[in-house]
Structures are given as C-alpha cells and as structure tokens.
Structure 1
Amino acid sequence: MKLAVVCAPFQVTLDAVENCRQMVEILEQCEPNDVVVFPEASLSGYSDDINFLAAIDQQEVTNGLDLLQGAARANHQHLFVGACRPDHEGWHNQAYYLGPTGQRAVYNKVNLATHERGFMVPGDSLPVFDLEFPEGNLRVGIQLCRELRFPDQWRALAEAGAELIVYMTYAIGDEAHRPVWRAHLVSRAAENQRWVAAVNVAHRTQLCPSMLIDPAGLVIHELVSEFAPSKRAEIDTNVVSDWYLTQRRTDLTPRER
C-alpha cells in the first residue's frame, strides 16, 4: 500500500493555544489521507526545566485535542500529536493518535528522560495502532525522544507488526551530538526494516534532525531548521520486511533463552 507521510516540525511554544493554531495551519496545507507527524509535546509545550508542567493549562490542552480531532475529521487526515498530561496516577508524556473518523488512542512514554523521572509516570506498554485507509490498514508504533537509545523497544514494535514507527522528539541544545542521533535513527529503520518518520521541533539548535527513512535505511528527506517547512513524501508498505528479524540468533541472547 502506498500513502503519504508529512513530517511537520514547527516552533513549539509553552502556549497550547498558539501551538494548536500552528498545527491547524499546517494541516490546512496537507492533503486528505495524509499521516501528519508533529513533535513531542507539540500541543502542551515542553522544557528541560520540569517546572514547566505547573504552567500548562490543561483545559487549553483538552480544547486543543478536540479542535485537532475536528481538523482530522474535516480534512480526513491521521495525526500524531504530543502532550504532557496528568491523571490519577500522575503526569505522563503522551503521544496521541487522532483519526479521521473520531479515533483517539494514546501512547505513554515508557523510558522517561532523566529530568522527567520522579515527576512523571512511565508507560507500561508498547502499543501498535491500526490506521484505516481506503486501500487497507497501516500499523504504526510510536517512540518518544530518549527512547531512540533503546533498540529493543523498536524491535518489539516491529515484531508486533508495526510498518511505520513514528518518532516524536523535543531535542534542542548541543548540536555536536546530532550525528549520533541521526545514526541511531538510520539504524532503527534499517535493523528493523521499517519506515521511520522522525520529527523534532523547529529550532536554531537541534540535537536531532527531522527525517523520513525507508526500511533499507535510506534517507528520503532530512531537515534541520529553525523554521517550519513541512516535508511530505510517499511511502510504500510493500517494502517492509522481516528478513533480518527472522535471522536473529535468539539462542545466544541471555534474555531470550
């Protein structure tokens, strides 16, 4: 099956209303049936200073999710949006899937960043979401920021049937390590033979590029910019493969004996 994925970085702020406005503006430029991926915490905003949590207006986040859900319906698009939200357990770093017929699903970040620990509750599952298209279903897994460092989580998503892995991050600062993050993204795609759509915030100093990578590890497009030029490209799920996954020597891996 062939379909289009839009990597949509933008300048995420700590104002949920402004973030929502920017995302709606981007969606108006996308096409029906597009899969549109925004950065980590793209709706609520994010900061390395964990005190930012106290300033989030959760009613504005709720309203924003509803507005974006309406945009997904109106434009018949599939959205991946980030938000930091509390519930009865505590705070979560979440990624939402918002579908064109009202579908809403949530992934809670499993492997929290160092400064998130003690303030946020880690997720306990690696779900795979089914996106419905006229030609068939697309199976999608999600990873957030620091989870790039844990290839076993990506492999679990691939083994669960994910054809596309959406990677949403808010990674700014020391650009010296950008080649490392880039290399990890290419490896995650190639070792699992899955499509990877990675989206970072638009910022003048980026630790991680926004990229679309095919299952062979070839970069379809790459963007590092403080501006927000979305990139749209077609993917073909027919090139997804389990060729390497099925050749693993599980008898030599202690955890799998």
Structure 2
Amino acid sequence: MSRNYLIAANWKMNGSNALVKSMCAELTPVLSQLSPEIAVLICPPATLLTAFTGVNALAIGGQDVSAEGAGAYTGQLSAALLLEAGATYAIVGHSERRQYQGETDELVAAKVAQAIAAGLTPVLCVGETLAERQQEKTQQVIAKQLMAVYASHPELLVKSVIAYEPIWAIGTGLSATPEQAQETHAFIRDTLAQLNQDAAEQVRILYGGSVNAENCSALFTQPDIDGALVGGASLKPDEFAKICLSIKIGAKE
C-alpha cells in the first residue's frame, strides 16, 4: 500500500525568530518542488509557533501537548491552545520527556487521546535505549509502548503518526543502518496490524535518530519507512531542505 511521506523537524529547545525567517526562505521554493505525497512539518519551541506565517504548505506542530483540556496546569499547553497557535500536529512521548519529565506510558496514552480528540495529529515516539538493544529487548520495549496507547483504543491509530527513535542514536551522531531501521519499522507495523490491519497499513512510521542529508536517502527507500523526525539537522535550513528533497517517489524497495 502506498503511503504519503512526512518529514518532521523537532527543534527541541532551540531556534529564534531569525531561524524561522531563514527556514521559511529556504523551504518556500523547496515546498513548491515537492510531490503532493510529501508533507513537511516543523515543531519549534511553543513561543515560535505563531512566527510561521505565509508558508501555507508547511505544517506546524507542538513538541508536547497536555493530557488535560484546560485548567490549573501551570506551564502546560492544551491541544486547543496549540491549535489556536496554528499547530496541526504534536509530538507525544519523546524519549527526552519520558526520561527528564518522567512521562509514563499511561500519561503518553492520555496525551495521544487528548490530541486526537481536539483535532491534532499526534506523532507518537517509541524507541529503546542502548542497554535494551544490547539485551535484545528492542521489540519488547516498543510493543509495550505501542500497546499502552492503542490496545484499548485501536481506533486512534489511523489518526496517528508513529516515530521510531532508537534512543542510543538521538543526538549521538550514530544512526541505525537502513536495514536495522527497516526491521524495527516492520515490527512496529506488524504489531499494530494485530489491532487493526487496515490502519497499520495506512499509518506513517518515521525514523528518527541522527538523520542527516547523507544518510536519509538510503533510509527513505526502505518499504516501511515513511519519512523522518529530524533533530539537529533540522536547525540547518540548507541541510533540512536537502533532506526534504531527497525523497524519490516510487523508490521504495
């Protein structure tokens, strides 16, 4: 089954109004060259969401979303607030939030449900640590993370995006080989197919983990890799543009 691609940028706690201007200037001509089957998403710090104006072909997303709809939750951003700021996506369950903010699978599941209920598309991040990979627990860890969200609510899957981010490859310069990434992406799709075969075939699964202009082309030819969640390279407008342009429609093996 043919699926559209998504190239997503996670700026993390980086960026500025100047970078927004540079990125928009770099991407505007690129977006006009891309196939309609390729979408581009920028997830900047929340203070910069409203700075992206005038680039209609560019999607904007939050780096997180609250599990609550509104109320006395200082510092959190609800799905409604993100939507009002122009976001249509939200990253959920990134490994850095699981590690540094102690987010549990249960909280991540609540955030996915809240995002979808409000009309946002969640980009659910899953992945294993280096120790877990060395102990051959990759599939066990990822299955647990997926089932925590979708086992009770498989209907949410078709409205989601999944991002496989091996934690050992985030910001380290290391990257899974195309074959390693494909193996895990195929496992993710097979696991989700146990809940909903059609949705599992439709859902886009992105790869994240030191993606750059040099390694992305080989990744994008793999049959179950439908794009990338890009970290450090997304802060370099020219390199991020190259990543977006590297997808060759019909090149999947």
Name the structure where strand makes up a greater proportion of residues.
Answer: 1
TM-score (norm 1): 0.48
Name the structure where helix makes up a greater proportion of residues.
Answer: 2
TM-score (norm 2): 0.49
